Chain A
Amino acid sequence: MNHPEAVITPGRGGLFGVASDYIWRNPRMFLFLMLLPPLLWLGIVYLGSLFALLVQSFFSIDEFSGMVVREFTLKTYGELLHPANLDIILRTVSTAIVVTILAAIVAFPIAYYAARYARGKWKAIFYLGVMLPLWSSYLVKIYAWKLILAKEGILNWVFAKLHLTWLLDAILAIPIIGGNSLSVSYLGTCLVFLYVWLPFMILPMQAALERVPGNLLEASSDLGAQPGQTFRHVLLPLALPGVIAGSIFTFSLTLGDYIIPQIIGSSRLFIGQAVYAHQGIAGNIPLAAAFTIVPIVIMGFYLWMAKRQGAFDAL
């Protein structure tokens, strides 16, 4: 038989031809070139600024001149422990915990439905329904909630029409979480946080639940477990990485937010607002930096605990 073509074609030549051959022969070089830009971005812009922040938190401010004293000191961290500042931290952290737990409870049935039952069109509707709120402006949504929760708002109106005003009043009369109206209470703050961050809980949960094979639930039931036992011993442990991932979002986003508590809730400060106030008007960058470290430390501790509890064993 006659073979008109050579078995091995000659190199294409030119810059791209030579570069292609070179990269094919040096896969490590390819990886290096591919990762260099994002690593530079991550390393310098992201981690670098975080590190600069960390360094700032060990400086202090001269109380008379208002100038930053660039000497290593723990004085600023000491200031964090002032009752007023401790109050801010406690308020923010407890709100974040409540929002996270509520989000997990509300998200689970939705995520479970989407992972185990929704198919085709319904799955698309689920994704659309969860993502749609994320596409509209954050501020618009929060001001909309301000109107919904206000004393003259639609929620009050609905309660009145249902002759349940007494119930709303009773809820608002609860100390700490209550207030004059929902829009100026911690309850309102938590509700809006819950609304805004819920998609960040639903999506990782749904992804985790989707990866639990259906026959494991059947196997559990076959071995005598009632639905509640199957949930506790099989479904929850296997979905836990997703729950943890979601809670990292809701928890850290709540810890850092400074707009929602400013618009909805009592006028008391959250960590984000404190950071905003200290670095802007007061010019106290070290204290603002020290405040920023708090969520980072809390998240680090949370992840360490989760790992110790075996939350990532099923990964």
Chain B
Amino acid sequence: MTISVQFSGVCRFYGDVKAVDTVDLSIQEGEFFAMLGPSGSGKTTCLRLIAGFEQPSAGHIEIFGETAELVPPYRRHVNTVFQDYALFPHLNILDNVAYGLMIRGIKKAERYAEAEQALDLVQLPGYGARKPSELSGGQRQRVALARALVNKPRVLLLDEPLGALDLKLREQMQDELKSLQKVLGITFIFVTHDQGEALSMADRIAIFNQGKVVQVGSPEDIYQRPDTRFVADFVGSSNVIPADFADKTNTAGQWASLRPEAVRLVDSGGRTAVVISRSYLGAMTRLVLDINGIRLNALSPSNQALPADGEQIQVDWDSADVRLMDSST
């Protein structure tokens, strides 16, 4: 497999602030790769380093084997879908989509034909004559996608592209982006702070924290087997508990993660817990439990009989669901 983007010890400093701190990554060709992390964790800076808007303070970046440092954005065969779309307000939709082709000097008839095709691809046929201000957020998002894809980039960068959309539209766009990526077969690099989005769309996920990559892996890896406390906390609503509490065979001082859905209500023979509060989430209900002073979240199907607040119940879990983590981060 070809590597499309390779980071080797890449740093980006702003004065004393280490926005990106010694990041090593290799992203395969044709992969849907998500960069996930809280705001300020360096994921967007990494994207901007690939696009060429930022230059690394140290380290080396290769795009399809070619050195990318000091290469201006307009010489990179990489296109970006910006967070707030960045459509040109003075151009109509067709001219927006055809912009990259116009810059390359492709004749009007030809570039308009290609732009129309790109608009078809994102399911906005016939919208060419409108101005960006006349479109809804979701439509602008598709135009931004068409404007990038019409240039047939080797790598497509998406900077929180679904952040400004409402939930329904976001879910629909997630499916569309995923299937579009399968059809086109180009590398998608997707920045998001929404773990659900990353888990549902990506082939692989890199988790960012404080400028560093803390874990890279498939969505299952990340969700089931978090390496660190931070990953367990950030991805989903994992319980982080002392290891010797979770599983009696383990040594003290270490931490372990336990998924809330792994906590089962049992009739007898488990641990005694007190229900602190309940919140109804639709299909599931979240119970906040107290076991000898340790807080634990449990997710139970809503259609079974659930205990009331303050009730004493018995809970248990399989020791296989307990995941030991690095104690450091």
Contact = CB atoms under 8 A, between A and B. Distances in A.
A21 interface: no
A226 B72 CA distance: 9
Interface string B61-105: 000000000001110001110101011111000000001101110
B82 A219 contact: yes
25 contacts: A215-B84, A216-B88, A218-B51, A218-B53, A218-B82, A218-B86, A219-B86, A219-B87, A221-B52, A222-B79, A222-B80, A222-B148, A223-B99, A223-B100, A223-B103, A224-B103, A224-B104, A225-B74, A226-B74, A233-B99, A237-B90, A238-B89, A310-B90, A313-B90, A314-B89
Contacts of B72: 221, 226
A221 B73 contact: yes
A314 B89 CA distance: 7
Contacts, number: 65
A234 B88 contact: yes
A224 B90 contact: no
A97 B192 CA distance: 52
B151 interface: yes
A213 interface: yes
A279 interface: no
Contacts of A220: 88, 99, 103
Nearest to B157: A222
Contacts of A238: 89-90
Interface size class for chain A? 20 to 34
Closest CB pairs A-B (n = 8): A223-B100, A219-B86, A215-B86, A314-B90, A221-B73, A225-B103, A224-B103, A222-B80
A224 B88 CA distance: 15
Interface string A37-55: 0000000000000000000
B154 interface: no
A180 interface: no
Nearest to B159: A215
Contact of A223 (B84, B90, B147): B147
B86 A216 contact: yes
A237 B53 CA distance: 23
B46 to A, nearest CB: 16
Contacts of B147: 223
A223 B79 contact: yes
A223 B151 contact: yes
Given A219-B86, A222-B51, A223-B74, 19 more contacts: A213-B86, A215-B84, A215-B86, A216-B88, A218-B53, A219-B80, A219-B88, A221-B72, A222-B148, A223-B79, A223-B99, A223-B148, A223-B151, A224-B104, A225-B74, A225-B103, A233-B103, A234-B88, A238-B89
A314 B132 CA distance: 11
A227 to B, nearest CB: 8
